Amino acid sequence: GENVEQHPSTLSVQEGDSAVIKCTYSDSASNYFPWYKQELGKRPQLIIDIRSNVGEKKDQRIAVTLNKTAKHFSLHITETQPEDSAVYFCAAYNTDKLIFGTGTRLQVFP
Amino acid sequence: KAGVTQTPRYLIKTRGQQVTLSCSPISGHRSVSWYQQTPGQGLQFLFEYFSETQRNKGNFPGRFSGRQFSNSRSEMNVSTLELGDSALYLCASSFNPDRVGGEAFFGQGTRLTVV
């Protein structure tokens, strides 16, 4: 079955710097890759997603890239702000199953 | 449009008991998935239901089961509770008729504590 690995598990950056979170997946049949943000005590919420027929997608300060050959996908956050502090989860979808990575705790220091 | 609703929000049970959790999806969503969230393990997939049929399941023991009703509401049951079952249980609904993946909307979760 699908396995998603996510790195790093924690990431600390200064406000205004960029943050990059990387994920790898194992099943080449996976075709949809969302990223979720979970603030403390709250439910996960979708922040950006990408499908397997697209290599890159951008939405304001966040972007996601996908390398299907290497089975890698990454989240890029530019000009980080304290409100970006949260746990971020990548996921891969295949056959009615959305498999999540173990999460990255991002801390943005003012 | 109302969001995904899970009940109860908190539950304390003793080892050996069983528990039933409920999830009401967003109106019009027929896919409901369940996840177990624990510190360090992230979100682990339990199972997915669509139109009352379990389409996929994760690697959990048979003590974990679920079902979906004709109105898309779903229940999850855990029998013979163990201390390690203590976790936040999240359900998510999505509009995924073509099975190509789409945004999953999560409920607030049910915090289960087994003592």
DSSP B1-69: ----EEE-SEEEE-TT--EEEEEEPPTT--EEEEEEEETTTEEEEEEEEETTEEEEE-S--TTEEEEE-
| Identity of the amino acid at A56 | E
Q: What's the DSSP call for residue B73?
A: -
Q: Would you say residue B97 has pLDDT above 90? A: no
Which A residues in the span 70-89 are in contact with B, Cβ-Cβ below 8 Å? 89
Cβ-based burial of B111 (10 A; exposed 0-12, middle 13-18, buried ≥19): middle
Q: How far is CA B90 from CA A8, A85, B98, B105, in A?
A: 24, 21, 23, 10
CB-closest option in B41, B42, B100 to A31? B100
What are the pLDDT digits (tens) for A17-39?
A: 999 999 999 999 999 999 999 99
Residues A32, B101: C-beta atoms closer than 8 Å: yes
pLDDT of residue B100: 78
Q: What's the whole-number mean pLDDT along residues B7-16? A: 98
Residues of A in Cβ contact (< 8 Å) with B101? 31-32, 34, 51, 93, 98
Q: Do A43 and B102 touch (CB under 8 A)?
A: no
Structure-model confidence comparison of residues A96 and B87, the more confident one: B87
- pLDDT over 90 at A73, yes or no: yes
- Regarding predicted confidence, which is higher, A52 or A77? A77
For residue B107, list chain A residues with Cβ-Cβ distance below 8 A: 43
pLDDT of residue B96: 77
pLDDT of residue B81: 98
- Considering chain B, what is the average pLDDT of its residues? 94
- Tens of pLDDT along B48-64? 999 999 999 999 999 99
Which one of B26, B52, B98, B106 makes the best mutation probe of the A interface by having the most chain A beta carbons within 10 Å? B106
Q: Is the per-residue pLDDT at B39 higher than 90? A: no
pLDDT attached to residue A96: 85
Tokens standing for B81?
């509770």
Three-point CA angle B43, B106, A92, nearest 5°: 50
Query: How does pLDDT run across A38-72, given as a tens digit for each residue?
Result: 999 999 999 999 998 889 999 999 999 999 999 99
